[in-house]
Amino acid sequence: MSNSIGEKFRITSFGASHGKAVGAVVDGCPANLELSAEDIQKELDKRKPGTSSVTTPRKEADEVQILSGIFEGKTDGTPIAGVIYNKNQHSKDYSMFKNTPRPSHGDFGWMMKYGNYDYNGGGRGSGRVTIGHVIGGAIAKKLLKTKNIEIISHVVQIGDIKAEPQDFNVIKENIEKNPVRCADLNAAEKMEELILAKKQEGDSVGGIVETIAVGVPQGLGEPVFERLDGDLARILMNIGAVKGVEIGLGFDIANHAGSEINDEYQIENGEVTTKTNNSGGIIGGMSNGMPIISRIAVKPTPSISKCQNSIDLETMENKKIEIKGRHDPCICPRVTVVAESSTAIVLADHMIRSGFIHPTDLKH
Amino acid sequence: MSNSIGEKFRITSFGASHGKAVGAVVDGCPANLELSAEDIQKELDKRKPGTSSVTTPRKEADEVQILSGIFEGKTDGTPIAGVIYNKNQHSKDYSMFKNTPRPSHGDFGWMMKYGNYDYNGGGRGSGRVTIGHVIGGAIAKKLLKTKNIEIISHVVQIGDIKAEPQDFNVIKENIEKNPVRCADLNAAEKMEELILAKKQEGDSVGGIVETIAVGVPQGLGEPVFERLDGDLARILMNIGAVKGVEIGLGFDIANHAGSEINDEYQIENGEVTTKTNNSGGIIGGMSNGMPIISRIAVKPTPSISKCQNSIDLETMENKKIEIKGRHDPCICPRVTVVAESSTAIVLADHMIRSGFIHPTDLKH
Amino acid sequence: MSNSIGEKFRITSFGASHGKAVGAVVDGCPANLELSAEDIQKELDKRKPGTSSVTTPRKEADEVQILSGIFEGKTDGTPIAGVIYNKNQHSKDYSMFKNTPRPSHGDFGWMMKYGNYDYNGGGRGSGRVTIGHVIGGAIAKKLLKTKNIEIISHVVQIGDIKAEPQDFNVIKENIEKNPVRCADLNAAEKMEELILAKKQEGDSVGGIVETIAVGVPQGLGEPVFERLDGDLARILMNIGAVKGVEIGLGFDIANHAGSEINDEYQIENGEVTTKTNNSGGIIGGMSNGMPIISRIAVKPTPSISKCQNSIDLETMENKKIEIKGRHDPCICPRVTVVAESSTAIVLADHMIRSGFIHPTDLKH
Amino acid sequence: MSNSIGEKFRITSFGASHGKAVGAVVDGCPANLELSAEDIQKELDKRKPGTSSVTTPRKEADEVQILSGIFEGKTDGTPIAGVIYNKNQHSKDYSMFKNTPRPSHGDFGWMMKYGNYDYNGGGRGSGRVTIGHVIGGAIAKKLLKTKNIEIISHVVQIGDIKAEPQDFNVIKENIEKNPVRCADLNAAEKMEELILAKKQEGDSVGGIVETIAVGVPQGLGEPVFERLDGDLARILMNIGAVKGVEIGLGFDIANHAGSEINDEYQIENGEVTTKTNNSGGIIGGMSNGMPIISRIAVKPTPSISKCQNSIDLETMENKKIEIKGRHDPCICPRVTVVAESSTAIVLADHMIRSGFIHPTDLKH
């Protein structure tokens, strides 16, 4: 089990869906960053379920308490522990899942690997553990903002409905206007319909989430084995439900000739830029100053109420399963804040590691 | 700069394309594994250029010497250092690249980040550094074989030509029969033609490489932040030229409903298996006993002889560039052994970490 | 700032003396270990002040809550978060220390390094942070007990009063009989007198704490750079107030010839043992099956009420300081549980790393 | 097995005493440091045996080759691999040690832990592995010199002969004047006599080596678990033959009252200093700007020609052993350069980690 990520800006996450609490300890945030519980709460609220038609109607208050690491309104260089006490979690009986794994849900792995698995609400295999990511990400974002780095994640595909590309500022505005967090408002409407249709059928649907980071300086990433693209790929693939990660053109690059997709250099206002950004802001594992663009493939929520084949691990016999309950028919909208947070954690870590954020930067 | 990867099975790589030598130190291989220089040489030979019509005609002998870590034909638990002395590397003048970065090549990043960059042959930004991966991978594969784990990488797409899926044993056989290392022999022929056509034009082309690992037991991967899929994504994305990584259905999963792609469980010969393998052998970040399947998007070789726009970093003016030389028109065939090696390194590391390979396993 | 230690059994500590809470997250404890809050509370109570004549009369309830990682009375392989909410900590005004560092206290370092320093009660520079060590140590000890490993720390010197060596079982019994936690009851009495005399004078006194671990199998420690003695030295030296660490004969070994102190081998009941244990159970960085014996030099509490020279960091002028308050005149008795805990953390980590505790050991 | 140390400035060491080569890869040295093989050779020559009456008469050329990491006379930010090919190492038959461990020598641990042990010349358990430390240390020292940090190690005790304290500059001068590397020339003479007497008897003798680092800025060290004193203690205790480490007053601190040994602050030329340096330059785990002073207890060379009791691991019977050969009667003089190197590695690492050496510092 490893619940920590990051080298200099380091998140250690803990807690299970229906346990006493979930939370994270963030170590390595430079001292003297203005930070309050509200900064974190704001991000947690984006992740929170029960806020729209396309998410689960489950209500979770998810109020964060900061236990340490802030003195007189600023970080003091010591670990920041954030905790959210779970509430009203034992309303339901999960015992039917104790020996019957849900198809494509992580629970089978947890049962077999650890033996003692808290199956209530998915335990630590639940999407609820991403609260730890969001705590870390909220602090990372605040830190990155001091260097004018901004990150935004938005939904670009749900099922077969694809969004048209939009400008960064339009994305920021538009994703707040619809529950799908899609920047193409026409597509957003169709996506919402599709999700509601799947919900109606007791089914779920997948999608693609794109993340854009602007303002990242040239030179983040430590080749050969701690490259920026490698570290982004890891943290994004580590998000439950993600089955693919791509940077820039991504898989489409396979279809092209070098002469079509090479990013040619130019001098622009005395700065080196590239005419195109097919590389998605990363070449040779290092940021090149262009926007960093990644996309992740998010699978349909595995918990569906349609009847499925499974097994009984005690009797070792085949068994049908119907997963009743209030599951998100599509988790992409809520994954956006997790992708944003994960990207922020990697960028904050590399900004410190590469010396762009110095431990004493914020001192005076 | 970070040139190490792996926690318990750990590779530290060194050397530049035209420097004195390239190599790797492999730490953490359990003692008592039978190992010889030939085991490593065999894998290096697959990576070696100059062996077919579709790779660069450059010849590199790439003979490995083992400096440590083997006693009486077996590993002794101490670090295994492998070194390849570079030969005849200074035949060409690279000085025109000193201040003129090649579009979509890593050299710009190296120049800016480190200031002092060995531009000869691409320096440490060259594909030649993957020799370190292959040394590590060769040892990892030998170790995994003691647990009946086998890994194979093959080309499944070049440009717009896609291969039909094949069985594991057919793949093993067929990839040796054609220079593209594609298991669908019909597609292989067309791929070869496409690569040669691009070569003729002074251009290059991208593709997709798939890796399959069979025999991996259930339970590899350390959630939440050192998941097996996350660690695979990182090491694969860290390979120069890779712009995307997917597991199982990958990006196609976005197009589907949960009921279509969930991997239902069944009891088969007293064992738990899944009816389908859309998850690619990993659910919840842990291996589930099914074949582990990944695909990577490989960009076209950035070094092409067609005229391109670039800049002069000294004068800070725009400048044209034509990259003459013997470059691979498509690196996918040679990337296969690097993908195989990278996958092997991650699996060997997790086999040890999860306790499936015990330090004393091979003692008697 | 780095608040984590251990590779496979890993403690991440957080919190400041007068902040909202102190605690630790313990990651990597194998699943299926029986564990309750009481197991941890028992150890914390040994560390707690206000329990005897020789410690500070400050009362701290220090009640631990476990927030995660236990399911149905057993660890479930997920991180165990333990938290202690600080109580009644703001009873005193610490503002006189804001700009006036206390001689030989860590506060000067914290002020200069982090800029924003919570000077109340010493902040994170307080001995109170060792609560995190004790949480980790309590779990480590419980885990080690499943392999019959036992650890005991006791006071062997206070000022110039030295204890006579005692047998392991006598030590266990006797340290509970006196507030100094010294196993030689005659010496203990004199130590208590000395401490009380120093307290009376508004002064403090140092001492030496010895730790013995019995039952450790042969083969813990990873040469060359993660040797068992190196890892013990680090964690013990990391305890505030420790200025020296020695293993076995320690510094006295300098006075001897090889022929006098070499530990000769013998066969005893079919097992290899050594006739003497001058090496303190570790040779070549690896445990050799004999008891592991370390000693640490603990400095006198730097906070004394006698008048001392210091400075004012704002005016940059010299300034006298008298540190009133209820400080321990000697922290050695309370350090014993911290040394025990620290040793347990290193041993538990290495037991897992060396494969003696397998992740699935406790499964059935 | 773990053969790496350091976080940002990282050494990975390899090779065995009588194998093909020994060496190290140094990763994380900032680019643009002037560096040549001579810089490393100079330090290796201090470690080299056969140079005086008090070391083994064995001759080892120990010529280092740099395989990578230097371009046009300066580091280029890529890993620096240094290798020394072993020569004439198979002149002797070591087979009598195959199953008979030498008392207090590491070989028993290696035999038991790894099963396959290269017993020739002690294998990787030999002091010869410290060549890796010295390669890393030589580069670290060169890097530290750019920040005016200087480190010196000298012998302060051999057997019962103790040296009088000397000033830093006197130490630098005097240690070159005698084979013992002791700065008190009177004591040095007596130490030499004692060592030669022990050599004559076929015995060996221990001692104490002190290391002083001057010019270290205030603020190195990452509390709570990667403190500067903890990291120094680890790397020094990791040196074979070291059984104790102390900082500043060290173990003597136990004998004192707080009022006697607290380091009072003063303003001196506008700077904060302490009137005394009983803390040895480290308080609260962080450097305080005063000289950093450590001492290590070095045991007598375990290999002595006097007859000793051991065992035969094959027959599991007791057996006498006489270790003929040319062993150092006292390794303290040669340990000085290893202590210096180890200290330099930790300081260089922390200088980078704490932001005092920025990756781009040396760029222009």
* pLDDT value of residue D1: 66
Residue pair D260/C206 in contact (Cβ under 8 Å)? The answer is no
Q: How far apart are CA C124 and CA D190, in angstroms?
A: 48
Least confident of A151-165, A222-236, B32-46, B86-100: B86-100
Q: How far apart are CA A102 and CA A91, in angstroms?
A: 20
Mean pLDDT of B108-133: 95
CA distances from B259 to A60, A102, A297, B246, B272 (A): 27, 12, 17, 21, 20
Mean pLDDT of C254-263: 98
pLDDT confidence band for D47 (50 / 70 / 90)? confident
For chain B, give the longest Cα–Cα distance: 71
CB pairs under 8 A between A and B: 382
Contact A13 C79 (CB under 8 A): yes
Q: Is B25 on the interface with D (CB under 8 A)?
A: yes
Nearest CA in chain A to C115: A363
Q: Is B271 on the interface with A (CB under 8 A)?
A: no
Least confident of B85-94, B179-188, C273-282, D153-162: B85-94
In sequence order, what are the residues at sequence separation of 6 or more whose Cβ sits closer than 8 angstroms to the Cβ of residue D160?
C255
Q: Is B32 on the interface with D (CB under 8 A)?
A: yes
Mean pLDDT of C172-190: 97
- Among B276, B287, B171, CA closest to B231: B287
Mean pLDDT of A56-77: 90
CB pairs under 8 A between A and C: 168
The answer, yes or no, to whether residue D256 has pLDDT greater than 80, is yes
pLDDT confidence band for B321 (50 / 70 / 90)? very high
Residue pair B110/B125 in contact (Cβ under 8 Å)? The answer is yes
pLDDT tens for A206-226 read 999 999 999 999 999 999 999
User: ipTM higher than 0.85?
Assistant: yes
Contact B283 A108 (CB under 8 A): yes
Contact B72 D32 (CB under 8 A): no
The answer, yes or no, to whether residue B362 has pLDDT greater than 90, is no
The answer, yes or no, to whether residue D292 has pLDDT greater than 80, is yes
Other CB atoms within 10 A of residue C20 CB: 18
Give B304 to chain C, closest Cα distance, Å: 46
The answer, yes or no, to whether residue B59 has pLDDT greater than 80, is no
* pLDDT value of residue A42: 96
Give B244 to chain A, closest Cα distance, Å: 4
CB pairs under 8 A between B and D: 168
pLDDT confidence band for A169 (50 / 70 / 90)? very high
Residues 148-187 of A with CB under 8 A from B: 157-160
Question: What are the chain A neighbours of B208 within 8 Å (beta carbons)?
Answer: 251, 254
pLDDT tens for C53-91 read 787 777 778 899 999 999 999 999 999 999 999 986 655
Q: How far apart are CA C121 and CA C106, in angstroms?
A: 12
The answer, yes or no, to whether residue C292 has pLDDT greater than 70, is yes
Question: What are the chain A neighbours of C74 within 8 Å (beta carbons)?
Answer: 116
Q: Is C272 on the interface with D (CB under 8 A)?
A: yes
* pLDDT value of residue B48: 81
* pLDDT value of residue D60: 73
Name the more confident of D363 and B211: B211
Contact B123 D12 (CB under 8 A): no
pTM: 0.98
Contact C77 A363 (CB under 8 A): no
Nearest CA in chain B to A194: B257
Name the more confident of D191 and D358: D191
Nearest-by-Cβ selection for A354 from D7, D354, D359: D359
Quick one: how far is CA A218 from the chain centroid? 24
In sequence order, what are the residues at sequence separation of 6 or more whose Cβ sits closer than 8 angstroms to the Cβ of residue A130?
A47, A239, A240, A338, A341
In sequence order, what are the residues at sequence separation of 6 or more whose Cβ sits closer than 8 angstroms to the Cβ of residue A93?
none
pLDDT tens for C45-55 read 998 876 777 87
* pLDDT value of residue D362: 82
Question: What are the chain C neighbours of B354 within 8 Å (beta carbons)?
Answer: 359
CB pairs under 8 A between B and C: 12
The answer, yes or no, to whether residue A364 has pLDDT greater than 70, is no
Contact B3 D27 (CB under 8 A): yes
Nearest CA in chain D to A355: D358
- What would the two tokens of residue C194 be? 């000395």
* pLDDT value of residue D304: 96
Name the more confident of A57 and A236: A236
Contact C78 A1 (CB under 8 A): yes
| Chains in contact with B, where contact requires at least 3 CB pairs less than 8 Å apart | A, C, D
Name the more confident of A325 and A109: A109
Contact B207 A248 (CB under 8 A): no
Mean per-residue pLDDT of chain A: 95
Question: What are the chain C neighbours of D266 within 8 Å (beta carbons)?
Answer: 309, 311, 318
The answer, yes or no, to whether residue B89 has pLDDT greater than 70, is no
* pLDDT value of residue A88: 63
Nearest-by-Cβ selection for A243 from B208, B253, B313: B253
| Chains in contact with A, where contact requires at least 3 CB pairs less than 8 Å apart | B, C, D
Nearest-by-Cβ selection for B71 from D14, D116, D364: D116
Nearest-by-Cβ selection for B354 from C353, C354, C359: C359
- Among A139, A131, A130, A128, CA closest to A37: A139
The answer, yes or no, to whether residue B272 has pLDDT greater than 70, is yes
Question: What are the chain D neighbours of C285 within 8 Å (beta carbons)?
Answer: 106, 109, 238, 240
pLDDT tens for B217-258 read 999 999 999 999 999 999 999 999 999 999 999 999 999 999
Contact D243 C249 (CB under 8 A): yes
**Bond into A224 cis (ω within 30):** yes
Question: What are the chain B neighbours of D79 within 8 Å (beta carbons)?
Answer: 1, 3, 12-15
- Among D232, D209, D215, CA closest to D155: D209
- What would the two tokens of residue D362 be? 């040396």
Question: What are the chain B neighbours of C353 within 8 Å (beta carbons)?
Answer: 8
In sequence order, what are the residues at sequence separation of 6 or more whose Cβ sits closer than 8 angstroms to the Cβ of residue A290?
A263, A273, A274, A277, A279, A280, A281
Calculate what percentage of chain A has a pLDDT beyond 70: 98
DSSP state of D50: S
Q: Is C225 on the interface with B (CB under 8 A)?
A: no
Nearest-by-Cβ selection for D219 from C112, C201, C278: C112
In sequence order, what are the residues at sequence separation of 6 or more whose Cβ sits closer than 8 angstroms to the Cβ of residue C125?
C105, C106, C107, C109, C110, C240, D223, D284
* pLDDT value of residue A91: 59
DSSP state of A152: E
Residues 88-147 of A with CB under 8 A from C: 113-118, 123-124
| Chains in contact with C, where contact requires at least 3 CB pairs less than 8 Å apart | A, B, D
